[in-house]
Amino acid sequence: MGYVGITLAAAMARRGYEVHGVDTQEAVLGALSRGRPHLFEPGVEEVFEEWVGRRIFPVPELPDGGVDAAIICVSTPVDPSGHEPRLENLAEAAEQVAKRCSPKTLVVVRSTVPVGATRAVVLPRLLDAWGSARLVVAPERTIQGQALRELVELPQVVGGVDEESLRLGVALFSGLVDKVVPVSSAETAELVKLVNNCHTDVIYSFGNEVARLTERLGLDPLEVIGATNTDYPRPDIARPGYVGGGCLSKDPYLLLAAAERTGYAPPLIRAAREVNEGMPVHVADRVVEMIGSPRGRTLLVLGWAYKGRPATDDMRGTPITAMMPAFTAAGLRVLGHDPLVGAEMIRRHGGDPVDLVAGFGEADAVLVTTDHPDYQRLDVDALLPGSGVRLVYDSWRVLDANRVLGHGVRYAGLGYEPVAR
């Protein structure tokens, strides 16, 4: 019942399905049973308040009699050092389904996995227990902040290990979405999800490459990209930004792992990941350099989730993780604020949680890492006067630069470092 499972449970309950949401964490089950989801996603809490105990049943294991469909939504992380896929959760979930259900159950792999993992990890465990299995891959492709809408509006790709499995998978998801796209195999469906996210990663990396170039040339990346895109009939260039989250920070490595087993290592996908992973580190180094004599100084970081729009409290792939080593080495004290991320999570990542007024009052510099709407509405004319802030690094350029400069404060952003006045 993580981000994928909790949103799918809500969406299916709204469409009339009876959903048993399985999780091993007692705190998660307790919160869900009270209709209080442990994760932020617009609309989910309202659905749980209405349907928990009626259509949604948070439980520690599947019912004794099994279920019509068991949808596996467990995390499939990669090893932090070698980036090798970790599929222990997938294997354990398959074993639990095999133990609690029967060959009549349709098993759905919704977790993002390397190509071939469904057939290699899940299918053998079902066959060992049952002798036969109905098994499909139906990848989740929503983004946080609008998952409930996209769950029913986006086409659902479904691929099965055989024709009977595919037929049942199409029937299941036809009750949820407007359009189902059947594909020829489970492996095809696995690759669809990976290709989606790797393509997005590549698109974002080009915008970041432009920013690294304009920084050296003394130009404005938003001006360059804006003029490039204006009424030009080719694909738009993405604006620079941090690229994180549970998918884009992981899925390229899942694809690379599968590809390398075939003897091919896609250079573009690896290069895009290197560019995007390098951006937070580069910004942290630039901020430290701009502060000058940073030891003993205080930096206020606004935005600790991995993104601000659509808003989320998800810390997976957040830029602050890559930035903190540079700040710590420089001797900076880091203050933290986020509209959704709690104080304990900020502390866990090395920051001292503060409100906006206190943060500006104590800081020597401010780093805005997300484009959350709250930060776009910041009243710098009220927060900067009387403060010790002498640098605002506005990663997403959501603030009014002229208003910041009007207070004698240096202003910069991704790829944009005008000469300080």
CATH (domain of 246): 3.40.50.720
Same domain, yes or no: 230 and 174:
no
The answer as to whether 212 is a domain residue is: no
- Least confident range from 29-33, 58-62, 80-84, 126-130: namely 80-84
pLDDT digits (tens, 9 = 90+) for 129-163: 999 999 999 999 999 899 999 999 999 999 999 99
Indicate the number of domains in the chain: 2
Q: Which long-range contacts (CB under 8 A, 24 or more apart) does 213-221 make?
A: 213/415, 214/415, 214/416, 215/415, 215/416, 215/417, 218/417, 218/418, 218/419, 220/415, 220/416, 221/414, 221/415, 221/416
The reported pLDDT for the residue numbered 420 is 60
Specify the length of the chain in residues: 421
Same domain, yes or no: 162 and 302: no
- Residue 207 lies inside a defined structural domain of this protein: no
pLDDT band of residue 419 (cuts 50, 70, 90) is confident
Boundary (domain end) residue, out of 184, 209, 244: 184
Same domain, yes or no: 363 and 273? yes
In a domain, 203, yes or no: no
Both 23 and 167 in a single domain? yes
Region 241-259 average pLDDT: 95
pLDDT digits (tens, 9 = 90+) for 70-126: 999 999 999 988 999 999 999 999 999 999 999 999 999 999 999 999 999 999 999
**Residue % of the chain over a pLDDT of 70:** 100
Taking Cα atoms as reference points, which of 194, 138, 128, 195 lies closest to residue 161?
138
Taking residues 18-45, report their average pLDDT: 95
Whether 209 is in a domain gets the answer: no
The predicted model gives 184-191 an average pLDDT of 98
pLDDT above 60: residue 421: no
Residues 237 and 94 in one domain: no
Whether residue 22 is found in the same domain as residue 141: yes
Decide which of 184, 202, 233 is a domain's last residue: 184
- Per residue in 327-370, pLDDT tens? 999 999 999 999 999 999 999 999 999 999 999 999 999 999 99
Kindly state whether residue 164 falls inside one of the protein's structural domains.
yes
Contacts of 379 (CB under 8 A, 6+ apart): none
Task: Give the N- to C-terminal CA distance of the chain in Å, as an integer.
Answer: 51
Measured distance CA(322)–CA(159) in Å, rounded: 37
| Same-domain status, 250 and 160 | no
> How much is the mean pLDDT over the chain?
96
Tell me the C-alpha distance between 180 and 157, whole Å: 6
Segment 300-317 shows an average pLDDT of 96
User: Which of 184, 205, 240 is at the close of a domain?
Assistant: 184
Note whether residue 201 is domain-resident: no
Same domain, 120 and 239: no
Are residue 301 and residue 382 in the same domain, yes or no?
yes
Does 134 lie in the same domain as 223? Answer: no
Domain of 148 in residue numbering reads as: 3-184
Residues 131 and 31 in one domain: yes
Q: Are residues 252 and 135 in the same domain?
A: no
Q: Tell me how far apart the alpha carbons of residues 418 and 340 are, in angstroms, rounded to a whole number.
A: 32
- Looking at residue 288, its pLDDT comes to 98
The answer to whether position 238 is within a domain reads yes
What pLDDT does residue 81 have?
87
Please indicate, yes or no, if residue 200 is contained in any of the structural domains. Answer: no
